[in-house]
């Protein structure tokens, strides 16, 4: 559905403060469920969207990216960075903002912070994928990497997939303590662990979400038994992986958009024509998801623009009822569209 621009050319802006107010107003689990519903709906109409790998500017210390898409009526993009070394400076590893625009006029209809929103949509996407791919009745998840994304992942899997226990491990015990503290009293059994091997004991879902920009091996082949679902979140740029290659060749691999995932995901370790399945095809019933109890399914998650589009549309739909935005005067709106210069002159006259 097209989102029409305001007639007075003022653009609603969702600040960090208002995004936090919205999350608290809706409820964090309920908001991730709402975003997940939008993601599923948009994945089911996947062929309608413009699709391109994110436009990335890489450096030795990080990456800055633009993630655009359109369904023909509404256009959206996200600006996002990824700088793992920021944490040592007391800064966020990932920051982001995004915009929706009306295709018919080109006018923006909403500008929003997306640092918080990206965390919500990433977790919602992970849980949506697991809903389709994880073994039936899965109730225990290992969460390896307990940084800024960990709590969102745990609560999304609880709300959407019915996870009851989360087993936490991070190379930094302070991160695990932080995560356990934040998840206390939220309906999950939280088990801090001293190693990745301990964390995966009894887990049917293995989530890896680490930040270091390197070819790391968070899970080795002998750690992964039959029948599990792997939610690989942290491998999200060239040269950054978390899983041993042999795990990939034992798994049925599901991705968002192959041209992007082959550059940034775990499958950058494999041949360019290695067979993978697109997640939207599972959701539409075009191809099967998990087919056997002993099968290892792997969601090679790198994040794709359509998920941000879905999250932005969800937020936009909440604004009328909640009023949790402020108007920005960011579009010049002369009385005569041909007289932009005259508009400046009139401003100078008082």
By annotation, the residues acting in catalysis are 236
* Pairing state between β 277-278 and 252-255: parallel
Give the number of other Cβ atoms within 10 Å of residue 252's Cβ: 18
Q: Order of strands across the sheet with 297-300?
A: 189-192, 165-169, 140-144, 205-208, 229-232, 297-300, 252-255, 277-278
Residues in CB range of 345: below 8 A, 6 or more apart: none
Q: Based on the number of CB atoms within 10 Å of its own CB, is 79 exposed (0-12), middle (13-18) or buried (19 or more)?
A: middle
Q: How many residues does the chain have?
A: 350
Phi then psi for residue 291, to 5 deg, are -115, -10
In 3-state terms the chain splits into helix, strand, coil percentages (rounded to 5) of 40, 25, 35
């Amino acid at each position: 559905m097209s989102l029409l621009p305001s007639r007075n050319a003022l653009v609603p802006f969702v600040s960090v403060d208002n995004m936090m107010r919205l999350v608290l107003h809706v409820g964090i689990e309920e908001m991730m469920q709402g975003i997940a519903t939008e993601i599923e709906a948009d994945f089911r109409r996947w062929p309608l969207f413009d699709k391109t790998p994110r436009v990335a500017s890489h450096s030795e210390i990080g990456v800055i990216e633009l993630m655009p898409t359109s369904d023909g009526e509404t256009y959206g993009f996200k600006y996002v960075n990824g700088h793992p070394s920021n944490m040592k400076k007391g800064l966020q590893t990932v920051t982001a903002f995004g915009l929706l625009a009306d295709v018919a006029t080109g006018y923006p209809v909403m500008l929003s912070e997306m640092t918080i929103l990206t965390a919500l949509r990433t977790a919602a996407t992970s849980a949506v994928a697991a809903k389709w791919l994880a073994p039936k009745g899965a109730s225990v998840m290992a969460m390896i990497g307990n940084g800024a994304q960990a709590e969102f992942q745990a609560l999304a899997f609880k709300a959407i997939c019915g996870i009851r226990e989360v087993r936490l491990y991070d190379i930094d015990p302070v991160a695990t303590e932080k995560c356990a503290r934040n998840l206390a009293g939220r309906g999950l059994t939280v088990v801090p662990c001293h190693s990745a091997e301990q964390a995966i004991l009894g887990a049917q879902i293995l989530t890896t979400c680490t930040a270091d920009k390197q070819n790391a091996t968070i899970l080795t082949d002998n750690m992964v038994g039959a029948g599990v679902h792997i939610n690989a979140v942290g491998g999200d740029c060239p040269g950054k992986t978390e899983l041993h290659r042999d795990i990939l060749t034992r798994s049925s691999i599901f991705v968002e958009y192959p041209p992007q995932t082959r550059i940034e995901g775990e499958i950058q370790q494999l041949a360019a024509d290695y067979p993978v399945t697109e997640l939207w095809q599972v959701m539409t019933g075009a191809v099967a998801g998990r087919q056997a109890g002993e099968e290892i399914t792997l969601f090679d998650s790198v994040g794709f623009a359509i998920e941000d589009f879905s999250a932005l549309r969800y937020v936009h739909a909440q604004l009328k009822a909640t009023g949790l935005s402020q108007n920005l005067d960011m579009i010049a709106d002369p009385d005569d569209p041909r007289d932009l210069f005259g508009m400046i002159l009139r401003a100078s006259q008082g």
